[in-house]
Copies of this chain bind each other. A is one copy, B any other.
């Protein structure tokens, strides 16, 4: 029985897939917070290079991947698609469980798929330095690697509490040559303002974004880079799903259920959108399940409205599922899923009913991750554990129903730098956080009326 479905290097997709022209509903445009008019590309020019802004609004179905980016993808792509035979046997299920294994990248997750592309386009347009923020550190380390490949400087504003608790992630970024500062820092006005009010502030992703954007806008040769949410980021991740489609064909099956965890939405979109093309064209009836944490459930509990992407209200308004841009989620271990909003593309697909969402508490996710580690070997990122939980539950439901079900999920990354969370779980010290209904209600009052 075959376990791994491996493509040749020549099978790496040579184009990214852009779902915008295939959506049956016009995507609501980003709008200006004051005028409520659609914003043009020029509004984003101070922070992003023009090539990425054009991809953000492109209506071309396929966009060529530059040879220089492919050259780097080849370091770890194509990634394997694996059939989880051993997990299936442990679950005694008739379901077939497949996972796309993105942890083979040197940074250990799917994030380099866009980090490398973003570094490339910035380099092409003469940018010398990038800034970004990072919470858990997955994105910061992927971009550090991307910048190393193209000789770009990188300054990462790392949420101070992570900076202190996750020294390995910081060292990883420094090994690839990035400069990492704890946020709030004294390097920006935004940081200094926070420190003036609270010198011991532990920081927050929203503050770190404000610092990174301010830093980029204030320097001629510097731009800002974002690791999820936006259309061009999802676009770059579609190499994942395009490879998976070829590999499912090798396996002779088509997924009935397609699963992924969602924070900003990019890893799941990467896997799901190429399959969604089939569903939108009436060629499949697959179910699509986006899995989020119970403590930050933007799709299952949030509203589909225009909101800011950041706490400091620096971005245009995006139509998306949101818990309110001032909402600060509880400190769950899946740092990559702690975002108040959701990618507009994923939000719209959920809103239109072609995609569903489900939320889990973190202890249930970790229990699934332990079972996965002991059957399939891989120790998973806390974020990915949410997808594994859902895949296992689908397989158990198939057993109950006595039906074969082909399940595909995106295994977005390993958890080797997240072992402190495993220790807490194994020691029975991991808490679940109830859905913070009151805090969300309060945050939603700050969402602008459009």
Interface residues in chain A, defined as those with a beta carbon under 8 Å from any beta carbon in chain B: 2-4, 6, 8-9, 71-72, 74-76, 82, 85-86, 104-108, 112, 145, 148-149, 167-168, 171-172, 174-177, 370, 373-379, 414, 416-417, 419-420, 422-423, 426
Contacts and interface: CB of A to CB of B under 8 A. Distances in A.
Given A416-B168, A416-B417, A174 B426 contact: yes
A109 B448 CA distance: 52
A75 B376 contact: yes
A140 to B, nearest CB: 14
Given A172-B416, A175-B379, A177-B374, 8 more contacts: A6-B8, A6-B9, A75-B82, A106-B378, A106-B379, A167-B423, A168-B417, A174-B426
A244 B425 CA distance: 40
A419 B172 contact: yes
**Interface of A, helix, strand, loop or mixed by DSSP:** helix
B426 A171 contact: yes
A74 B145 CA distance: 29
A376 B8 CA distance: 19
Contact of A145 (B3, B82, B145, B377): B377
Contacts of A3: 9, 71, 74-75
A377 B8 contact: no
B377 A106 contact: yes
A416 B106 CA distance: 10
A416 B416 contact: yes
A120 to B, nearest CB: 14
22 contacts: A4-B74, A6-B6, A6-B8, A6-B9, A105-B377, A106-B373, A106-B379, A106-B414, A145-B377, A149-B374, A149-B375, A168-B420, A171-B420, A171-B426, A172-B419, A174-B423, A175-B373, A175-B379, A175-B426, A176-B374, A176-B379, A416-B417
A168 B419 contact: yes
A67 B172 CA distance: 38
A426 B179 CA distance: 12
A376 B149 CA distance: 8
Contact of A171 (B6, B8, B422): B422
Contacts of A168: 168, 416-417, 419-420
Contacts of A416: 108, 168, 172, 416-417
Contacts of A145: 377
Contacts of A167: 419-420, 423
Nearest to A76: B377
B172 A379 contact: yes
Contacts of A419: 167-168, 171-172, 175
A135 B420 CA distance: 20
A176 B149 CA distance: 35
Nearest to A374: B148
A104 B106 CA distance: 10
Most buried by B among A175, A379, A417, A420: A175
Contact of A148 (B107, B373, B420, B423): B373
Nearest to A147: B374
